[in-house]
Structure 1
């Protein structure tokens, strides 16, 4: 849980705090369909975990932090960003003059190539993690950069500030500039090493995730090798699908099949896979998603910012596909998942 308070309080509720009592109005999610409002209630946190939620104040330990919310404040469950590109944070708000593929080449790849500089990586990633936590994001599914060492710095920032996250070093062997691309062999070896590096940190809040950028950045052989690693290491997979019409046409030309089947032939569609966007998925592709248990990250702000289209979530949910919400920074112009909610609401209200 988190309340949208000051950065000072956000840091006080970090992992180093031993015991904290928050008193005030509490929104408590009992399950996915039942929400409870506890007026003048409390949340007791011990050693970084919620120990109690209730209405009658518990005994306090000497030296514990006590925070009294004002009448205008409310404590809510932590927010989850299911799709965010950490290295794109400096580009927030840039690129409305482009569509996806041109946007990648003009703005995104040149920025992400800078993350070979580990000092720069630390500066940006520390700022981003602090910002997302201040916006209420307690769990995030991050795309890192192509560089393993840089993405480990992102992981260290996440650990430092106490966020829960899936973190992936991207895989990209095709359709990228010469200074921001890797060989097939390095893509596999660095992915294996990255997973080992994350697991060696022994932090229960951080999980590695296999992260091919999108189908045009890889091929079937590389996807099959990544799928093998995912199965061996029991880790998640994340990527993009069916975001932009030109992208979809290019995928069909490269793979001679539809987007979802291209991924499925590479072993990428599993019950531990999160695919972002899915704006233009066909009924057949949605049926395949359901069969594989694959989830979708809906990124409404990004979909409109890059003029990719509007995603019909009600249609997708008819296939009983799990759908989460993502900011897709910097395709989305804000790292606030609440802003993503607002973008989605505006689209629902459109005629």
Structure 2
């Protein structure tokens, strides 16, 4: 069914391949059937409206100073079942943290009532924070992962959802065999694909090399190849983890080689963290066109390390941002941008390297995330033909932590939003041209 054209006039900010941040003062965007049909200077409005019957036939929203539109945020790495642990359990390092906090929580998702309760809260919170696309890890439980898909669909978010695979070096109460893991993953994939929902896609999810043997990783790679699926996993998050992988896979050259020989690396592979990748490993990652999900909040909160994201970008590796709930204590991509800037500053202080700016952080939270997920042809900026996934921001709204002054430029206002913005600044959250915010607020009132 055709949807009527609507137009927004005002300030816009987005990224392109050539420029990490473009701020446009007086522009118009036209959206019909969820897609961007024009994006131009405001004085070209009447020209673009002629094919649609003129101004009387369209809905026109004019933004005031302090209001602007940006692409929807893209979280390239988040563990939905870990949401109950957000803000706690950060006293331990990664491997201890998994044993004490993470695995016991994830094991509870065998109970579908518990899963529904948690996922309802998690998806609402993530979407309310402006994340229009999320790349989720679930648990090993297929039916619980399908419940996560149900809730994502209910609230209109765009997402990749993965049934986690782990058949070794895992607790007895939370583990599967290679055969079970493969067959259940195939069941999950087929169940999601049968729904023919273009917004929600399955993603193959070996937790990390330590929890999957060669047999399982090989079978998952084959499944991904046969069905054209995305893949997500972890890599080089801590020094202890890297050493452990070296001991578990002594016949491989390094951590990246484990995944490469298993057939898990492609342009649709999302590698979370990548803090300790060597020069040789980074070259393979680039050559295979994999993407890195940089998770700065998590990396500092559980003291994993600080990723030199500037180096990754300079080497031409695709980089997006991830909140990595609950290693990261916040599901906010504003927080991810801020933490990314802080981590880059730490590197600049200690190495005298050039730090990234708010422009690169913004790009990684939007177009960079789309590139990592290999969907930059569909979302990530305001190019004509792409889906309209966008956030309407109001820094003057009640609850905002941002004050603007007469001498603040439009770039100043955007930079203030990156450093000070929160959910109170979002007045509309569009996914595929539909404003999902009213549904979120309605759900919040019921809970």
Between stretches 20-29 and 179-188, larger displacement belongs to 20-29
Give the structure 2 partner of residue 310 of structure 1: 306
**In the alignment, is the contact (CA less than 8 A) between 1:220 and 1:265 conserved in 2?**
no
Is residue 195 from structure 1 mapped to residue 189 from structure 2 by the alignment? Answer: yes
Structure 1 residues 265-320: Cα deviation after superposition (integer angstroms, max 9, x where no partner): 21112222111001111112112212222221111111101101111122233432
1:31 CA drift (Å): 4.3
**In the alignment, is the contact (CA less than 8 A) between 1:18 and 1:48 conserved in 2?**
no
Q: What SS class does the counterpart of residue 68 from structure 2 fall into?
A: coil
**1:72 and 1:17, CA in 2 relative to 1: closer, same or farther beyond 3 A?**
farther
**TM-score, normalised by the number of residues in structure 1:** 0.89
Give the structure 2 partner of residue 5 of structure 1: none
**Partner Cα separation in structure 1 for residue 342 and residue 56 of structure 2:** 46
Equivalent of residue 202 in structure 2, options 208, 213, 222? 208
How do 1:116-127 residues align onto structure 2 when only pairs under 5 Å count?
116-127=110-121
**Partner Cα separation in structure 2 for residue 18 and residue 185 of structure 1:** 50
Give the structure 2 partner of residue 319 of structure 1: 315
Structure 1 residues 90-117: Cα deviation after superposition (integer angstroms, max 9, x where no partner): 1111122100000001111111112112
1:23 CA drift (Å): 3.7
**1:295 and 1:137, CA in 2 relative to 1: closer, same or farther beyond 3 A?**
same
**In the alignment, is the contact (CA less than 8 A) between 2:310 and 2:344 conserved in 1?**
no
Is residue 296 from structure 1 mapped to residue 292 from structure 2 by the alignment? Answer: yes
**Partner Cα separation in structure 1 for residue 329 and residue 56 of structure 2:** 43
Aligned residues: 335
CA RMSD between the two structures: 2.1
Equivalent of residue 73 in structure 1, options 63, 67, 74? 67
**1:37 and 1:321, CA in 2 relative to 1: closer, same or farther beyond 3 A?**
closer
Equivalent of residue 81 in structure 2, options 74, 87, 108? 87
Give the structure 2 partner of residue 336 of structure 1: 332
**Partner Cα separation in structure 1 for residue 232 and residue 261 of structure 2:** 16
Give the structure 2 partner of residue 230 of structure 1: 224
Give the structure 1 partner of residue 274 of structure 2: 278
Q: What SS class does the counterpart of residue 229 from structure 1 fall into?
A: helix
Structure with larger Rg: 2
Between stretches 339-348 and 19-28, larger displacement belongs to 19-28
Give the structure 1 partner of residue 28 of structure 2: 42
**Partner Cα separation in structure 2 for residue 309 and residue 130 of structure 1:** 30
Give the structure 2 partner of residue 25 of structure 1: 11
1:70 CA drift (Å): 4.0
Equivalent of residue 52 in structure 1, options 25, 29, 38? 38
Q: What SS class does the counterpart of residue 74 from structure 1 fall into?
A: strand
Structure 1 residues 13-48: Cα deviation after superposition (integer angstroms, max 9, x where no partner): xxx986544343222445452644343433333333
**1:126 and 1:67, CA in 2 relative to 1: closer, same or farther beyond 3 A?**
farther
Give the structure 1 partner of residue 242 of structure 2: 248
1:67 CA drift (Å): 4.7
1:160 CA drift (Å): 2.0
Is residue 162 from structure 1 mapped to residue 127 from structure 2 by the alignment? Answer: no
Instruction: Specify which structure has the bigger relative contact order, considering alpha-carbon pairs within 8 angstroms and separated by 6 or more residues.
Output: 2
**TM-score, normalised by the number of residues in structure 2:** 0.70
**Partner Cα separation in structure 2 for residue 89 and residue 267 of structure 1:** 31
The answer for unaligned runs of 5 or more in structure 1 is 1-15
**Partner Cα separation in structure 2 for residue 251 and residue 30 of structure 1:** 37
**Partner Cα separation in structure 2 for residue 315 and residue 35 of structure 1:** 19
How do 1:262-277 residues align onto structure 2 when only pairs under 5 Å count?
262-277=258-273
Q: What SS class does the counterpart of residue 204 from structure 1 fall into?
A: coil
Q: What SS class does the counterpart of residue 331 from structure 1 fall into?
A: coil
Give the structure 1 partner of residue 122 of structure 2: 128
**1:291 and 1:27, CA in 2 relative to 1: closer, same or farther beyond 3 A?**
closer
Give the structure 2 partner of residue 6 of structure 1: none
